Amino acid sequence: MTSANGLPKIAIEEAYEHPDVVRSHLSQDDASLRKLAESLGQTPEYYRKAQELLPDFDKRLEVMDAAGIEHQIISLTSPGIQGVVDPAEATAEARRQNDFLAKEVSQHPDRFSGFAAVALQEPDKAVAELRRAVRDLGFKGVLVNGYTNEGDSAHGRYLDDPVYYPFWEALSELDVPLYLHPRPPLSAVSSLYDGHNEMVGAVWGFATETASHAVRLLLSGHFDRFPASKLILGHMGEGLPGMLWRVQTEYDMTTLRKIKKSLAEYFADNIWITTSGYFSDQALHNVLLTVGADHILFSVDYPYMEPSRDATSADAVKWIERTAISELDRRKIAHGNARALFGLG
């Protein structure tokens, strides 16, 4: 499926949720639903509409057809498995979600692919599930929703932790990327937003939390330790491309451990950036100047953009077709880079 101008689009940050989970969320009374929505900085009306779209794969295809999107790589919405506190429950839920998504993908393999969900609460079992999802289910990589809760919802473990080294080794061996997706910050940080719930989610907190997580990986020497690892950041790199020069300059003046290459080199070698939920000429041009077109991937952030007034799937397609970039870069971003990174036909 292509749009009117014939340019194929592959979108790779496109969320779903299991119907059972959505029914549980929407069955709450109005007061509870409002409280849940407001905890994410959302209106109840927006929250309900997005929730209703998450498990509806028929509607998803209708939207893709109408907008002119050829293919989606679909992933479990935030906080997903990372928010499940009990390790055994998390492992079981990851398998259930992956089996569900694989079944949906199998109905339309020309239109859908999947990212695996993994329970990093049990790292060894996460490795086994990753291998199953990639080798047996045909998934294109893994999406991790930020830090992984351990013990309770107030504590989390980040991806630079040595306990995850075997997981990163498996990703490198399988030659698939990890998409680092946002979730709200831990409670120790979220006090910054007291009285400003509108800042917790996509307005501000998602980007700062995810950018900080990525900087942890960069400055920990992760990409020196795992030089073949591939990391994807959404939302135009969560603001990092615009901050890269200052982060590098200030880091160079510290006495802390050093990394082998510049931050810009790691972006060139190991990090891809998507346009998810961020259809801005200025932001795209900044990313192009920072990392180049070969590491930028078109995305929408379905279904979370659909309730908006002027940032829907159709708007995303119109934007990438018209933004002032070269036609070569446009083809790379719209579909070419995704075909190369994920082995899509």
Give the active site residues.
Answer: 301
CA distances from 13 to 16, 51, 60, 195 (A): 10, 16, 13, 30
